[in-house]
Amino acid sequence: MPDIYPQYHPVLINLANRPKSGKCADCGARHIGMCDTLSDDDLELLANTAQRITLAPGQMFIEEGSPAGHFYNINSGTVRLYKALPDGRRQITGFMGAGHFLGLKVSGSSAMPGHYVFSAEAINEVQLCRFNRTALLAKLSQFPRLERKLLDVAVHELVIAQEQMLLLGRKTALERVASFLLAWAAWQELCPAGGLPETMLNMSLPMSRMDLADYLGVTIETISRALGQLKRDGLIAIPAAQHVILLQPRRLAALADAAI
Amino acid sequence: MPDIYPQYHPVLINLANRPKSGKCADCGARHIGMCDTLSDDDLELLANTAQRITLAPGQMFIEEGSPAGHFYNINSGTVRLYKALPDGRRQITGFMGAGHFLGLKVSGSSAMPGHYVFSAEAINEVQLCRFNRTALLAKLSQFPRLERKLLDVAVHELVIAQEQMLLLGRKTALERVASFLLAWAAWQELCPAGGLPETMLNMSLPMSRMDLADYLGVTIETISRALGQLKRDGLIAIPAAQHVILLQPRRLAALADAAI
DNA sequence: CGGGACTTTGAGCTTTCTCAACGATGGTGG
DNA sequence: CCACCATCGTTGAGAAAGCTCAAAGTCCCG
């Protein structure tokens, strides 16, 4: 399997590119994810250990097996997390976007410094904050709300992971694609309060078909055929390869949650 | 698919069967898992909210979708966690044994009371401690070490879950079975310090072939054939259906981590 | 010793994968 | 501004892994 991970000349574009004021208050991600949990004062303290970083599309910023030195908080863009086998087979374990917290998963007695058990790459241009892992963990007892938030983040990821195991172990290709489309819609917060939208739903998929295949445990051809069938059946429209419209979310959901 | 979950007349055998002294100090699980994290005094406080429960083989004690009322700590026996689709397809997301902490995974803003997103059943006779979820969460701030422990537990489960996604999404049936056998050996702590044993390794599998199949995302026939092939190839021996001997752990590991 | 549940084995079938060719798309340089 | 090229995506045909259905073999327990 040659050329599994097409790289777009990885370059660290802009290290430590703080917002103009240098304060979290001016950050676009101030009111989402981890940063939403903290008071301005707390954030001020943490900010000292943070660096703002911009990543080019395709750039890897966490490598499986390397020492876990940082936590990350994504401000914008989309990231793929994955594990790989020695022969190149890849399983994408998740996509993350603005507000998501990254870097909990390390080997050993966990929250202690160990080694990353996954790799992470930017899908498109990504802006994120990088925290020194040891420093943040040491300060954790000073920020009880943050510690609780981390637990919430971990538990939420666990819930998602279980759902994905069900998908990978027991769903057909068509069900997997339908499930993904709905999950992605929810993930984009296009579906308020987790409710299923009645109307049609417009969304863009930043990831390639290869990413989708490696996320859903099938091949790119199978992804393409499944999308084609959903299109033929009138459940979705695909005006462009990376642009999908959910025409009939309810029928899609029926398909996703198990052909009864 | 009829009769997916053979039930052995679920009966709550023995509620609140405290050890004779009524103290955690006399519990067989005192020095493992969560209970190992706490001081005797802390444990004393928590014990007030705990009930000791014995479950019969096959008994379900957590049902997906039901309100999350308790945490559990397993003292002995083996438990299967699973998710199911409306048409009966089942994915076992993990097996848990003595010392394991259970019940983090709930819907919604997580660590808050919500609904379980998985079901749990005893595989053999199981003894566990049941904690009131709300009470324990409320007391969490009094037990910072416990809170940190919960984070560690969640992170460790996440690491396992990612590994399982790689298995379900990208490994062949033979690789899955080989991976499972090694993981089970490590899980049983037959392999000290995560190192791969050179010598042969004796272990019992409390779960049925059906459980194995639903854990590894294949059918029971495929499990049987894969075990048969490993036996034919001299990698394992199967003196009884629920008793496996790893004859060549290294070759098994080579097979598990990817046929290169 | 007999019955039921579990496991193994076999044969044919279905879904998905593999391999290959074609088509679309977007960026680049003439 | 357009043609070209690289990459990505789609489509088709044949192959293979794993599934389904069926039957025989084991084992446990009464």
Residue of B nearest to A83 (CA): B166
Annotate chain B with three-state secondary structure: CCCCCCCCCCCEEEECCCCCCCCHHHCCCCCCHHHHHCCHHHHHHHHCCEEEEEECCCCEEECCCCECCEEEEEEECCEEEEEECCCCCEEEEEEECCCCEECCCECCCCCCCCEECCEEEECCCEEEEEEEHHHHHHHHHHCHHHHHHHHHHHHHHHHHHHHHHHHHHHCCHHHHHHHHHHHHHHHCCCCHHHCCCCCCEEEECCCCHHHHHHHHCCCHHHHHHHHHHHHHCCCEEEEECCEEEECCHHHHHHHHCCCC
More confident residue, A38 or A244: A244
Using a CB-CB cut-off of 8 Å, the residues of chain A touching B151 are 110-111, 147, 150-151, 154
B173 touches strand D (CB under 7 A): yes
Is the per-residue pLDDT at A51 higher than 60?
yes
Report the alpha-carbon distance of residue B180 to residue B183 in Å, rounded. 5
Q: How many CB pairs under 8 A join A and B?
A: 146
Average pLDDT over residues B105-119: 75
Residue of A nearest to B170 (CA): A217
pLDDT, one tens digit per residue, over A118-163 is: 999 999 999 999 999 988 888 888 888 888 888 988 999 999 999 9
Report the alpha-carbon distance of residue A182 to residue B177 in Å, rounded. 32
Q: Say whether B105 and A162 touch across the interface (CB within 8 A).
A: yes
Is the per-residue pLDDT at A32 higher than 80?
no
pLDDT, one tens digit per residue, over A165-222 is: 999 999 999 999 999 999 999 888 654 455 677 788 999 999 999 999 999 999 999 9
pLDDT (0 to 100) of residue B138: 86
pLDDT (0 to 100) of residue B10: 27
- CB nearest B148 (choices: A85, A105, A111): A111
Q: Say whether A83 and B166 touch across the interface (CB within 8 A).
A: yes
Average pLDDT over residues B88-99: 95
Report the alpha-carbon distance of residue A122 to residue A135 in Å, rounded. 25
Report the alpha-carbon distance of residue B103 to residue B116 in Å, rounded. 8
Q: Say whether B161 and A161 touch across the interface (CB within 8 A).
A: yes
Q: How far is CA A131 from CA A53, A68, A103, A104, B9, in A?
A: 11, 11, 10, 12, 53
Is the per-residue pLDDT at A227 higher than 70?
yes
The answer to whether the beta carbons of residues A79 and A89 sit under 8 Å apart is: no
pLDDT (0 to 100) of residue A135: 87
pLDDT (0 to 100) of residue B2: 30
pTM: 0.89
Residue type at A35 in one-letter notation: C
**Poorest-pLDDT segment among A37-41, A132-136, B170-174:** A37-41
Is the per-residue pLDDT at A66 higher than 90?
yes
- CB nearest B151 (choices: A89, A111, A171): A111
pLDDT (0 to 100) of residue B224: 98
| High-pLDDT (> 90) share of chain A, % | 60
Residues 6+ apart with CB under 8 A from B51: B15, B16, B129, B130
More confident residue, B4 or A211: A211
CB-based burial, B152-173: b 16+ in 10 Å, e otherwise: bbbbbbbbbbbbbbbbbbbbeb
Q: Say whether B258 and A171 touch across the interface (CB within 8 A).
A: no
pLDDT (0 to 100) of residue A238: 97
- CB nearest B155 (choices: A91, A104, A171): A104
* Distance in angstroms: CA A233, C1' D12: 20
Average pLDDT over residues B205-221: 98
Instruction: Among all protein residues, pick the one whose CA is nearest to the C1' atom of C24.
Output: A241
| High-pLDDT (> 90) share of chain B, % | 60
pLDDT (0 to 100) of residue A158: 95
- pLDDT-derived band at A106 (thresholds 50, 70, 90) equals confident
pLDDT (0 to 100) of residue B20: 41
By DSSP bridging, strand A119-122 and strand A79-84 are: antiparallel
Q: Of the candidates B76, B70, B71, which has an alpha carbon nearest to the alpha carbon of residue B32?
A: B76
The answer to whether the beta carbons of residues A118 and A96 sit under 8 Å apart is: no
Chain mean pLDDT for chain A: 83
Separation of CA A53 from chain center: 17
pLDDT (0 to 100) of residue B23: 61
- For chain B, the C-alpha Rg in angstroms (whole number) is 19
Q: How far is CA A54 from CA A68, A77, A205, in A?
A: 19, 10, 21
Report the alpha-carbon distance of residue B106 to residue B125 in Å, rounded. 25
Helices and strands per DSSP (H, E), number in chain A: 8, 12
pLDDT (0 to 100) of residue A194: 55
pLDDT (0 to 100) of residue A27: 65
pLDDT (0 to 100) of residue A159: 94
Is the per-residue pLDDT at B259 higher than 90?
no
Q: Which nucleotide is nearest to A221 (CA to C1')?
A: D10
- pLDDT-derived band at A89 (thresholds 50, 70, 90) equals very high
Report the alpha-carbon distance of residue B208 to residue A94 in Å, rounded. 31
Residue type at B33 in one-letter notation: G
Strands laid side by side in the A243-246 sheet: A201-204, A243-246, A236-240
Q: Say whether A105 and B162 touch across the interface (CB within 8 A).
A: yes
Report the alpha-carbon distance of residue A38 to residue A150 in Å, rounded. 12
**Poorest-pLDDT segment among A36-45, A231-240, B111-120:** A36-45
**Poorest-pLDDT segment among B144-148, B154-158, B238-242:** B144-148
Per this entry, what is the length of chain A? 260
Using a CB-CB cut-off of 8 Å, the residues of chain B touching A105 are 155, 158-159, 162
B134 touches strand D (CB under 7 A): no
pLDDT, one tens digit per residue, over B14-60 is: 333 334 445 666 666 666 556 665 566 666 667 777 899 999 999 99
pLDDT (0 to 100) of residue A30: 61
- pLDDT-derived band at A41 (thresholds 50, 70, 90) equals low
pLDDT, one tens digit per residue, over A179-194 is: 999 999 988 865 445 5
Report the alpha-carbon distance of residue A210 to residue A221 in Å, rounded. 9
pLDDT (0 to 100) of residue B137: 86
* Distance in angstroms: CA A204, C1' D13: 32
pLDDT (0 to 100) of residue A110: 42
